[in-house]
Chain A
Amino acid sequence: MNGGRTWLPVALVGGFLAIWESAVHLFRIPLYLLPAPSRVVWTLAQNLTPYSQATLLTMGEALAGLALGVLTGGLLACLLVLRPGAENGVMTLAILVKSTPLVAIAPLLTLWLGFGVLPKVIITALMTFFPVLVNILSGLQRPDPALVDLFQSWNASRWQIFTKLRLPASLPYLFAALKISAPLAWIGAVVAEWTGASGGLGRMMWLAYTNLNLPYMFAAIFILSTLGMGFYRLLAWLESRVVFWQPVTVEEERV
């Protein structure tokens, strides 16, 4: 690990927190507007059990939704490559789903499916599905043309070209998709919980918000951003392991 690269972000975050802390004390900002970071951490420490339970629940929803979105998006992309005729119709449908503001659908799903886990998973899956579909599709569609020629000169079947060439060539795109989708998964789960839930970080934030209990709310935000960053780091590490042949990460498709 490069020492300079590890400590610089830590120093930046530390500096930011220090400025925040001193500003709150210096300007005597009231607790109901902005709590100091120390107060937030203290609140977190005082309520470790409820926070960990809520975190586990939200994380479970986010991961389940992400898995569902990646699975459906990935499978659909494979199908579109294996049977190219369907692409236009399916893409129109996918863009329709993507264009619908999911924040507007979340309350409906809660109304229909209740306060349980299912509507959160569905919302998260809907949010993550589209970037996965678009990225994996473009990865599957454009392996190196010279390699496609090579396979064709061997008289390879469509299926052989798919499994031996297109699939591995699309792996870098899968990671690009995951790096866009993972943050969306957190957003999806939390937003869905805001619209009604029996637990989870979003639920805790909503309760804290209605009581103007800002330290409580910030504690949840701290957890979310820390987890989100940790997850991104994990993905980047996995990417360097799995797609070892790719010197730089592929540019993700804009969605």
Chain B
Amino acid sequence: MRLEAESLSHSYSGKQPLEALRRVSLSIPAGQFVALIGPSGCGKSTFLRLAANLLPVRSGSLLLDGQPPRAAVAQQRVAWMAQSPALLPWRTVRANVLLAGQIQNHGSRPRLDAEEALARVGLSDMAGSYPAELSGGMQQRLALARTLTLPASLWLMDEPFAALDELTRERLAGELLGLWQPIGATVLWVTHNIHEAARLADRALVFSQRPGSIVADIPIPLARPRREADPDYQSVVTSIRTGLGMAETGVSS
């Protein structure tokens, strides 16, 4: 799914209106894996929420395959994974994964069936437990498994690996790329981890501090799997780091 934003801004209304995004323009072709990286509070989650139709687009435009987010969500073409695990405490691990399919009525054609999704994230042996019995990282993996069952062509992933240790992160990154490559879904992947962005994405977008706008757009034209020793990989890491430095100091490229 193609994603196009044209001077997209968003302000939260409250006692004091708060400008979270300012004039974001970008174009993401179908099938691209894009990492969004930027300082905390810069509007990354806000951007994903706009694309998931959880916030209304009031200023500028945001189109998914030429349609407003509402239409794409109604066609079940968008999968959103929240920054918090958002699990139902009264459902078992397995029932939590199955829930998405029950709501969207996937019937016999989920992208990935529940058992398979749980196996991919390494939670098969916990299928009968309840979320309260899981650690923070396990809860996040459960939320990831649930997202992977959705038959969507746009994945909006809000820091899906934030609560994971480095080894689990690497293993899951491999699983995820294996799932993603044949599907060719468009991915927006929010992360604070430069190496995660460099290892996974085709492109990294660096956001400035709030109000967020794009300060650096870094292509990552490297074949997968990527090796940290590769000098090209190192130069990608350096560019992202430089971009983040500009984001911190507020200098725009």
Contacts and interface: CB of A to CB of B under 8 A. Distances in A.
Partners in one complex: yes
Contacts of B53: 152-153
A155 B54 contact: no
B52 A153 contact: yes
Contacts of B18: none
A155 B132 contact: no
Nearest to A151: B103
Contact of A147 (B52, B74, B88, B100): B88
Nearest to B80: A153
Contact of A153 (B54, B88, B99): B54
B78 interface: yes
Contacts of B238: none
Interface in B77-104: 78-80, 82, 84, 86, 88-90, 99-100, 102-104
A157 to B, nearest CB: 9
A147 B130 contact: no
Interface residues of A, number: 20
B103 A156 contact: yes
A111 to B, nearest CB: 47
A233 interface: no
B76 interface: yes
A155 B73 contact: yes
A152 B54 CA distance: 7
A87 interface: no
A155 B104 contact: yes
Interface in A140-176: 144, 146-147, 149-156, 160, 164-165, 168, 171
A134 to B, nearest CB: 23
Contacts of B103: 151, 154-156, 160, 164
Contacts of A165: 88
Given A153-B80, A154-B104, A245-B132, A168 B86 contact: no
A149, A156, A168, most chain B CB atoms within 10 A: A149
Nearest to A156: B103
A191 to B, nearest CB: 38
Interface in B87-137: 88-90, 99-100, 102-104, 130, 132
Size category of the B interface is 20 to 34
A146 B86 contact: yes
A165 B78 CA distance: 21
A146 B88 contact: no
Contact of A245 (B82, B84, B90): B90
Contacts of A144: 86
B110 to A, nearest CB: 13
Nearest to A165: B88
Contact of A150 (B74, B76, B82, B130): B82
Contacts of B130: 244-245
B99 A149 contact: no
Interface string B58-86: 00000000000000011010111010101
Given A155-B74, A160-B103, A149 B90 contact: no
A8 to B, nearest CB: 29
Nearest to B79: A153
A150 B102 CA distance: 13
B105 to A, nearest CB: 10
Contacts of B76: 154-155
Nearest to A243: B90
Question: What 7 A-B pairs come out closest when comparing CB atoms?
Answer: A245-B89, A153-B80, A146-B86, A154-B103, A150-B86, A156-B103, A153-B52
Given A147-B88, A149-B49, A153-B54, 5 more contacts: A152-B53, A152-B54, A153-B80, A165-B88, A171-B90
Interface of B: 49, 52-54, 73-74, 76, 78-80, 82, 84, 86, 88-90, 99-100, 102-104, 130, 132, 150
24 contacts: A146-B84, A147-B86, A147-B88, A149-B54, A149-B82, A149-B86, A153-B52, A153-B54, A153-B73, A153-B79, A153-B80, A154-B76, A155-B73, A155-B74, A155-B76, A160-B103, A164-B102, A165-B88, A168-B88, A244-B90, A244-B130, A245-B89, A245-B132, A247-B132
